[in-house]
Structure 1
Amino acid sequence: MSTRIIGVHSGHDASACLLVDNVVVGAIARERLTRRKHDQGDPVECVNYLLAHFGFAPADIDLLVCSDWHDAIGLREDRYSQFARVEKTRRHHLLHAYAASVMAPAGPALVLVADGGGRRPPPPRGGGGAAARGCRPEDNGVAGMAPGWFEVESVYRHEGGRLTLLEKAYRPYYSKRYAWGSHIDSLGYAYAAVSKKIFGSSHAAGKVMALAALAPRAHDIPAPLRFGSDRAFGVNPDWLAYLEACPDHIDWDTPLAADLADAIQRGLEAYLAFRTRQLAQSHQCPDLLLGGGVALNCRNNGLLANAAWLGSVDIFPAAGDDGLSVGAAVMALRETFGDYRPIVYRVSQGASYAAPMKQDPQAAQALARLLADGHAVGVFQGGSEFGPRALGYRSILSSAADPVFKTRLNARIKRRESFRPFGGIVLRANLDQITHDALAGPNMLSAARMTDPARARYPALAHVDGSVRLQVVEEDGCLLHRVLAAYEGLTGRVALINTSFNDRDEPIVETLAEARACAAATGLAYLYADGAVEAVHA
């Protein structure tokens, strides 16, 4: 008899996951169904979606686990009354760690979780317990501070499906203290403060990371972070004061905006280089898994993947809070049902929408020909990806052979800021034609330095700092493999642009109807839809 678990996360980037034994059968973020980016609240739509598309009833589910975050919106137990067994957990960082463990190597690995903030510390057990964990109850009620500290960094050891907590840090929460809002002394909150100043949203960290490469370094900005050998970490008050003195909104195309982005990016990189070296040495374990929102910083991930003190580095595709539903389900499988087998996870996690059709054996060749002729093509096949990256199931593909392709994609199709780079796809056998760097996994969560010949041959892929985010495709007969092989045969080039299939400020498309509507709205002339290439009519 199989074990069936549903994991639910109801904070921002709400989601649900279905786990059958040790296989992640499906996972979906609420935003894909409601069409509101980073949507929060009880993801009842996601639970119903998983049950309907994968053929289960509530009575078939052994356990539903809710990630009840401290400020979860709309969490109501009555919405899950049809399930026989429902449990709640607030172990935010532990769930991130369990999600990260999906990518675990065969041997032991450290799991580093870092984000804006997770759960509050548990009540102290005996004298001095709270202070030993970095939480001082006497700080509650200090002027400018709301009661409570939050976990901001956690370190675990993973081996054989089991997680052991090694270290944890808590930091204070300051309610509405600054012009941009509340603050926690954490990597995530510091980065989000810059994101809010420049782009008006805490969800624009990826833009900040890309903007950092344009910095002229014309401003004397204090170091954002403070850290040292005693493992103390904090956000520099001088940097906070500098940021507070800046205008409430800073246009992204100004030197100040780029310099602020550069300062926080370099600060994050310096701290995590220091911290991971410290952890690898003190725990004698070089392999690393990253979790939490900070793990989506591709530039930092690329640096860590090539750090001499680390071995392998990998990241779960949904490393942010959308992945907490997977973490909740995996935690239940391990801790409640005692199943420690490796988790089976595939890139395509959503439902298939298209009616069965005869596959066109020439579709990959036709798609490659369109790309060689300079067309951008939407790709819709199978179930959607889980996480922020489109990995060939809900993608827009384009040639990278001319800078004009990047300009066209940003201005006319994606309708976004001109400085933003695009990810690329390449077959593993051809990876060394693009970069000699190691990557933090194959799923476009790692920036790599392009070789000089690659920058010249694929100028639309290269960011201004010469880096590229890459998805590495295995030679397994999948659509992307066949398209890349056909494209190489036609052009002699081995890499393509791969960007998410969505319009400006919209989530990635989920259904075929949404894909067709998005293609028409953004000016795509062609769409690959589950087996065949079709023309798009505006």
Structure 2
Amino acid sequence: MTATHARRRDAEVVLGFCAYTHDSAAALLVDGHLIGFAEEERLDGIKHSKAYPENAVTWLLGEAGLTANDVTTVAYNFDGRRYRSALGQLPAHLLQSVTRPRAMPRARSFLTVHRRYQARMRDLARSFPRARLHPVLHHRAHALYAFLASGVDDAAVLVVDSLGELQTTTIWHAAHNDEQPFRLDLHTAIDDPASLGYVYGAVTEHLGWRRGDEEGTVMALAALGDPTRFRALLSRAVRLTRDGFTLDPALMPLRVLSSRYARTSPAFTAATCPPRLPGEPVEPVHADLAAALQERTEHVMLHLSGQATRLTGSGLLCLGGGVAMNCVAAGLIAQSGIVDEIHVPPAPGDSGTAIGAAAAAWLDATGRPPTGIEGRCYLGPAYPDLMLPPEPRPGLTAERPADPVRHLARRLAAGALVGLFTGPLEAGPRALGNRSILASPFASGVVDRLNATVKFREPFRPFAPVVLADKAADYVRLRQPSPYMSIAAPVTDLARTQLPAIVHANGTARVQTVTWTQYPFLAEVLAAFGEITGHPVLINTSLNVKGKPICGTPDMALDCLTATGLDALLIEGWWVTKC
């Protein structure tokens, strides 16, 4: 036993899980401090991995010098006992002709998920024999993480996703300062079948993209469409109410937790278009439907944000849940004047609830919030001692430039497409500089090259800019920082005329603002690129290809270089190119 391990034998060790559903991840707290967090897909190579996060757990425990027997609490990001509450809805669904055909299958599906939850708890108990099991209400895990990541001391918290047990939308008031104990009070809860995430996923699937994965593609397509064509239909499908919203089951059928049941109705299809098969041409009708969906989503999110501020009296808003990844809606909230500032955590989707669940377990045991979550996104495995041979792969050569920053900036200014793999793995769906592909927005045909030879994705999808925070106002109209690339902001005339490659069809850019404190290496690269070009702005997209997760390991990064049109990879100081 090492001395480090011996000192930790009496520590409170909380392991937080998102597992067995999608976006598998794990987070580790030791004596209330966040040690790390990793998404399993970045380590096993399976996008949106549903697996038990074995690789993430192995890395986390190894990082802390611990074993499974040292874990004192296992926090799980669902309280599966709550699935049984769906049975209480059964009589009402049986009474309505439009919901009656699905009422019993729905009830049975929720009971099936409850049984699966019980089996999963038994598996976790066997894996960590000395640990207490601590199930956490899914939306509470979202809300805790969103608030703790923000670093503010008082905020409204709005969580909007597809489904957490039975909740789909919640509004909380969170506060913590020296004068009062930590509090997270639930003000509003909207239950399934009213689910904005369900609707967005259903229409994404109808339009031929993968539900739970490619909603961002539909959001991008929306900028090319005319929402007026289907505006009335989407207003009927998602009806605003005084306290929130409801769904029309004639258009969005009652949810059954089984892929055998379609999420859109024949009436919806008749009023819109036939389902588009993946790979089929994208027609104007598809863009118009995407536009109406996006517009309705924005209306609902603005309505809910106003409700959150009225209920809590707070001028700050934290967003969590899968719908919080809709950067256009987040941008509209930020620009609307409803709130003074919004905060979206690095991992607002389900993976981030591994942190939230661990935080809840620690808070419930001690009455104190954990530390180490505020303002942190680079939380995963790092490879600072990576050594590469001169030929790390057939057809690749590696060397170490004397000045990596300026070498990278010069190559980018010359038009190279470069992968960047450095430091700890970032959390969440956006590459934030540690696992990124960088490119000059001035290079000829850069967007077409990236889409066609590297990302292998639809040509209408935009690329996001990364910019020095103190220069951001030159390029985007944004009243606050955007460190996690979570907000689409209107661009300035300078950006529109000088940097059209970073401007989407709707006149916005999903910007990442970088400070020297947050990320000195990327800040240096931006400054050096700015010295050459006059603009400290680069295109930043994730180091991966379509259908694959962000590269979490050196091998995955080298595979990406080999299999794509990337010109080079800067990996832990090594400059790797193709022979």
Q: TM-score, normalised by structure 2?
A: 0.81
Deviations 1:443-474 (A, max 9, x none): 10110111011111111111111111111110
Give 1:151 deviation, angstroms.
0.9
Q: Does 1:75 align with 2:75?
A: no
Q: Does 1:14 align with 2:13?
A: no
- For residue 515 of structure 2, what is the aligned residue in structure 1? 474
* Alignment match of 1:398 (pick from 439, 457, 468): 439
SS of match in other structure, 2:478: coil
SS of match in other structure, 2:337: coil
User: Which letter maps to 1:191?
Assistant: Y
Give 1:424 deviation, angstroms.
1.2
Give 1:235 deviation, angstroms.
2.0
Contact (CA 8 Å) 1:42, 1:75: kept in 2 or not? no
| Distance across 2 between alignment mates of 1:45 and 1:279 | 38
Write the mapping of 1:395-434 to structure 2, written as runs, cut at 5 A. 395-402=436-443, 404-434=445-475
Gaps spanning 5+ residues in structure 2: where? 1-9, 84-112, 177-181, 253-264, 388-398
Cα distance change of structure 1 residues 361 and 62 upon mapping to structure 2, 3 Å threshold: farther
Moved more, 416-425 or 77-86: 77-86
| Distance across 2 between alignment mates of 1:75 and 1:511 | 28
- For residue 143 of structure 2, what is the aligned residue in structure 1? 97
Give 1:390 deviation, angstroms.
0.6
Deviations 1:65-102 (A, max 9, x none): 12345646872534553531131415111111111122
User: Which letter maps to 1:530?
Assistant: E
Cα distance change of structure 1 residues 524 and 226 upon mapping to structure 2, 3 Å threshold: closer
User: Which letter maps to 2:144?
Assistant: Y
- For residue 262 of structure 2, what is the aligned residue in structure 1? none
Q: Does 1:256 align with 2:265?
A: no
Write the mapping of 1:89-488 to structure 2, written as runs, cut at 5 A. 89-119=135-165, 150-160=166-176, 161-172=182-193, 185-202=194-211, 203-217=213-227, 219-221=229-231, 222-224=233-235, 225-228=237-240, 230-237=242-249, 239-240=251-252, 242-245=267-270, 246-249=273-276, 251=280, 253-340=282-369, 342-345=371-374, 346-355=376-385, 362-402=403-443, 404-439=445-480, 441-476=482-517, 478-488=520-530
Cα distance change of structure 1 residues 168 and 79 upon mapping to structure 2, 3 Å threshold: closer
User: Which letter maps to 1:364?
Assistant: V
Q: Relative to total residues, which structure has the larger helix share, 1 or 2?
A: 2
Aligned length: 495
Give 1:337 deviation, angstroms.
2.5
Cα distance change of structure 1 residues 439 and 359 upon mapping to structure 2, 3 Å threshold: farther
SS of match in other structure, 1:19: strand
- For residue 7 of structure 2, what is the aligned residue in structure 1? none
| Distance across 1 between alignment mates of 2:528 and 2:481 | 27
Cα distance change of structure 1 residues 82 and 352 upon mapping to structure 2, 3 Å threshold: same
Contact (CA 8 Å) 2:543, 2:551: kept in 1 or not? yes
Deviations 1:323-357 (A, max 9, x none): 11111111111111322355435221111235257
| Distance across 1 between alignment mates of 2:352 and 2:381 | 18
SS of match in other structure, 2:223: helix
Deviations 1:386-421 (A, max 9, x none): 110110111000001146111110111111110011
For the aligned residues, what is the CA RMSD?
A: 2.3
Contact (CA 8 Å) 1:112, 1:290: kept in 2 or not? yes
Give 1:239 deviation, angstroms.
4.8
| Distance across 1 between alignment mates of 2:452 and 2:169 | 38
Give 1:227 deviation, angstroms.
3.9
* Alignment match of 1:505 (pick from 547, 550, 570): 547
SS of match in other structure, 1:256: helix
SS of match in other structure, 1:519: helix
Determine what percentage of the aligned residue pairs are the same residue.
34
Deviations 1:145-192 (A, max 9, x none): xxxxx21111111111421111111133xxxxxxxxxxxx31000000
Give 1:103 deviation, angstroms.
2.3
User: Which letter maps to 2:48?
Assistant: H
SS of match in other structure, 1:340: coil
User: Which letter maps to 2:206?
Assistant: K
User: Which letter maps to 1:66?
Assistant: Y
Gaps spanning 5+ residues in structure 1: where? 120-149, 173-184
Give 1:281 deviation, angstroms.
2.4
